[in-house]
């Protein structure tokens, strides 16, 4: 009798143990399934599309070093590989045989330095119209997206970097050692990962550059902007008498009905010189005595 009761007790304990093991197994499976679902959602999040636009007019003699440094920077910082498209544009000062030869050499250099970029496009423009070719290309990229039927959300996630051959015509020694170039490039170009993240975290931000003017453009004309914002601007015009037009252009919202342009303002802009305070009013950026909106 005692043996029978003991066996029943052992069987009961075993049954309880089996139930507990099954319960913990189901609980573990539920937690694992939930964690996996979270991972899948994170991986499936919409991606950012990046287009790099680099433009410069070429000095008749000394242009190779500056172009090489700026294009190599895109490679070294990883931006050339991460971008969905890299657009390189050159113009010559004059439209003649010498100018066209120079453009061919510049295009060959760009393809040599950026040869591993699958989506590289190089264009040349004989004759000097200041920054018109580069600014026009940045604007057209946004217009092309709209024509392809990209949604507003897709255009908001399409970021365009525009930068140019700053210091190409400097008369103060080595072009690659210019103060503006050495100051701006590390922040606006090499710091691209943090900038892309700032756009992702701040839905109200449409543009970013080193120093933002109250009118909404960026000094030095090195900037990032959403394609959805660029298509709201004036279609770029040729202004051979006013080269600063191409710097102010980013801050001009266009009304297609009236043909009027008005200042966009700086409320949607980020001044990268200010670091984490870049969206704070009246921050005094370093390297300038003027207090711009940063």
DSSP string, 139-160: HHHHHHHHHTT--HHHHHTEEE
Name the more confident of 225 and 286: 225
Its sign, for the CA torsion 279, 280, 281, 282, is: negative
CA angle centred on 165, ends 164 and 168, rounded to 5°: 155
> Is the whole-model pTM more than 0.85?
no
- Summarised one tens digit per residue, pLDDT across range 13-25 is 565 555 555 555 5
Does 35 score more than 60 pLDDT? no
Residue-level pLDDT at 232? 95
Residue-level pLDDT at 12? 63
Does 264 score more than 50 pLDDT? yes
- Summarised one tens digit per residue, pLDDT across range 247-261 is 999 999 999 889 899
Reference 229, options 132, 164, 141, 149; nearest CA is: 141
Burial 171-195 (b: 16+ CB within 10 A, else e): eeeebeebeebeebbebbbebbeeb
Burial 95-117 (b: 16+ CB within 10 A, else e): eeeebeebbeebbebbeebbeeb
Supply the mean pLDDT for the chain. Answer: 83
Chain centroid to CA 271: 14
Please report which confidence band the pLDDT of residue 143 belongs to, taking 50, 70 and 90 as the band edges. confident
Reference 164, options 85, 88, 242; nearest CA is: 88
CA distance 268 to 32: 42
Residue 11 token pair? 């069987």
Does 45 score more than 80 pLDDT? no
Please report which confidence band the pLDDT of residue 202 belongs to, taking 50, 70 and 90 as the band edges. very high
Cβ–Cβ < 8 Å for 124, 101: no
CA distance 55 to 163: 7
State the average pLDDT over residues 130-138: 96
- Summarised one tens digit per residue, pLDDT across range 97-116 is 999 999 999 999 999 999 88
Does 156 score more than 50 pLDDT? yes
- Summarised one tens digit per residue, pLDDT across range 226-252 is 999 999 999 999 999 999 999 999 999
Does 192 score more than 60 pLDDT? yes
């Amino acid at each position: 009798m005692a043996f029978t009761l003991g066996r029943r007790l052992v069987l009961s304990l075993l049954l309880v143990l089996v139930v507990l093991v099954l319960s913990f197994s189901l609980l573990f499976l539920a937690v694992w399934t939930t964690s996996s679902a979270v991972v899948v959602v994170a991986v499936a999040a919409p991606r950012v599309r990046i287009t790099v636009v680099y433009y410069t007019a070429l000095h008749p003699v000394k242009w190779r070093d500056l172009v090489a440094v700026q294009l190599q920077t895109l490679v070294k910082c990883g931006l050339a590989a991460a971008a969905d498209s890299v657009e390189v544009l050159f113009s010559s000062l004059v439209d003649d045989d010498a100018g066209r030869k120079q453009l061919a050499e510049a295009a060959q250099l760009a393809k040599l330095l950026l040869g591993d970029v699958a989506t590289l496009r190089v264009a040349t423009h004989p004759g000097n119209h200041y920054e018109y070719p580069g600014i026009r290309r940045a604007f057209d990229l946004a217009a092309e997206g709209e024509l392809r039927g990209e949604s507003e959300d897709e255009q908001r996630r399409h970021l365009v970097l525009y930068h140019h051959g700053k210091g190409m015509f400097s008369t103060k020694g080595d072009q690659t050692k210019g103060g503006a170039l050495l100051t701006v490039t590390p922040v606006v170009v090499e710091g691209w990962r943090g900038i892309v993240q700032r756009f992702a975290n701040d839905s109200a931000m449409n543009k970013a550059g080193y120093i933002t003017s109250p009118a909404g453009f960026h000094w030095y004309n090195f900037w990032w902007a959403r394609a959805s914002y660029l298509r709201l601007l004036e279609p770029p015009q040729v202004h051979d008498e006013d080269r600063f037009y191409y710097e102010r252009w980013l801050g001009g919202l266009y009304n297609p009905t009236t043909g009027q342009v008005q200042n966009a303002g700086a409320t949607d802009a980020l001044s990268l010189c200010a670091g984490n305070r870049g969206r704070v009013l009246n921050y005094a950026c370093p390297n300038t005595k003027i207090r711009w909106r940063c």
